[in-house]
Amino acid sequence: MPTPTEPPDKRNEPWTRRRADIQFQFTQAARMNAMGELAVTLAHELNQPLAAINNYAAAAERIVGDDAELKDLLRRMGEQAARAAEIVARVREGAHRGDVAVSPMALPELVAEAIDLAMADIARESVVLHYDFDDRAQNVLADRVQVQQVIVNLVRNAIEAMEGLPWRELRVGAAPDGDLIRIHVIDSGPGVSPDVAARLFQPFVTDKPHGMGVGLSISRGIVESHGGRLWAERASGGGAAFYFTLRRAPEAKAARETAARPHAARRLRPAGP
Ligand code: ADP
């Protein structure tokens, strides 16, 4: 069992100044991601009824007989449904998360900043926090704002799941996983409810009265666009354990690139559709 440690020291950074900036970028990105998720889901749902209208219009046109005026109306109806389907496909295409701009990042700092954001409105001492970063899991290739969004989502969910419990413990850290680095966020809450478990990563799945249910599906999209994977398991103590993988940044390269070109970013194609 890892021993509790303090978050990486931020005294050397102008943290309060950076924090306002990060918070701003973060809110913008969260909004864009939520809107994108909504657009993609709507487009997916609308596709089928639009195709059905088009098919019905074509079938009606075939059986309507010699009424040229009615035939023309049915043809135009089908055309309009096809046009609507094209617009929907374009919206879906445009809303789909594009390339991510990854740079070599120091993982413990990136995670510590995200935790700071996620826990901004709760008393730190109400949750026992363990940091556990393996020495071989220090540098990743990441789009900072996007990956911090994943961590904030996971940490907020963990804190909400533990609300009201007398013992609240959160374990966050990383370890090597083959060529990748695996990050974990493990809580001591009740675990994912069986009602939700099978659809955990689908959009609009929530058991919270004011939840939107998009956090985990957005997070999975972000991780996959980095070439990684996000999944959940039952923690040994009964709580929820979320894991995701990111590509490793070669240490020497990370140091060299960060020093030489702090904003250098490499573009990655998102994995999958
Ligand atoms: P939201 O937080 O708006 O509900 P999410 O997509 O982030 O949306 O989460 C979906 C659902 O997954 C939550 O409503 C909750 O039921 C479940 N869940 C997520 N994280 C945890 C966790 N750490 N412990 C228990 N259940 C969780």
Q: Are the C-beta atoms of 149 and 33 separated by less than 8 Å?
A: yes
Q: Which of 21-35, 53-67, 120-134, 189-203 has the lowest mean pLDDT?
A: 21-35
pLDDT at 82 over 70: yes
pLDDT of residue 261: 40
Name the residue with the closest Cα to ligand 1, atom 13: 206
Q: Which of 33, 155, 157, 187 to mutate to test the pocket of ligand 1 (most atoms within 8 A of CB)?
A: 157
- Dihedral of alpha carbons 108, 143, 234, 120, sign: positive
Q: How far is the CA of 152 from the centre of ligand 1 (A)?
A: 12
Q: How far apart are the first and last CA of the chain?
A: 39
Residue type (1 letter), 261: R
Q: How far is the CA of 203 from the centre of ligand 1 (A)?
A: 11
Q: How far is the CA of 206 from the centre of ligand 1 (A)?
A: 6
Name the residue with the closest Cα to ligand 1, atom 25: 192
pLDDT at 269 over 90: no
Name the residue with the closest Cα to ligand 1, atom 1: 213
Name the residue with the closest Cα to ligand 1, atom 23: 158
Q: Which of 41, 160, 216, 243 to mutate to test the pocket of ligand 1 (most atoms within 8 A of CB)?
A: 216
Q: Which of 32-46, 58-72, 175-189 has the lowest mean pLDDT?
A: 32-46
Q: What is the mean pLDDT of the chain?
A: 84
Q: Which of 17-26, 55-64, 90-99 has the lowest mean pLDDT?
A: 90-99
The three state secondary structure string of the chain is: CCCCCCCCCCCCCCHHHHHHHHHHHHHHHHHHHHHHHHHHHHHHHHHHHHHHHHHHHHHHHHHCCCCHHHHHHHHHHHHHHHHHHHHHHHHHHHHCCCCEEEEEEEHHHHHHHHHHHHCCCCCHHHCEEEEEECCCCCEEEECHHHHHHHHHHHHHHHHHHCCCCCCCEEEEEEEEECCEEEEEEEECCCCCCHHHHCCCCCCCCCCCCCCCCCHHHHHHHHHHHCCCCEEEEECCCCCEEEEEEEEECCHHHHHHHHHHCCCCCEEECCCCC
Ligand 1, atom nearest to 205 Cα: 10
Tens of pLDDT, residue by residue over 217-226, are 989 989 999 9
Q: How far is the CA of 253 from the centre of ligand 1 (A)?
A: 37
pLDDT at 272 over 50: no
Ligand 1, atom nearest to 214 Cα: 6
Q: How far is the CA of 199 from the centre of ligand 1 (A)?
A: 11
- pLDDT bin (cut points 50, 70, 90) of residue 253 is low
- Residues in contact with ligand 1 by the CB-under-6-Å rule are 153, 157-158, 161, 187, 189, 191-193, 196, 200, 205-208, 211-216, 240
pLDDT at 86 over 90: no
pLDDT of residue 159: 96
Question: In whole angstroms, what is the distance from residue 129 CA to residue 137 CA?
Answer: 19
CATH topology of domain 103-253: Heat Shock Protein 90 (3.30.565)
Name the residue with the closest Cα to ligand 1, atom 7: 215
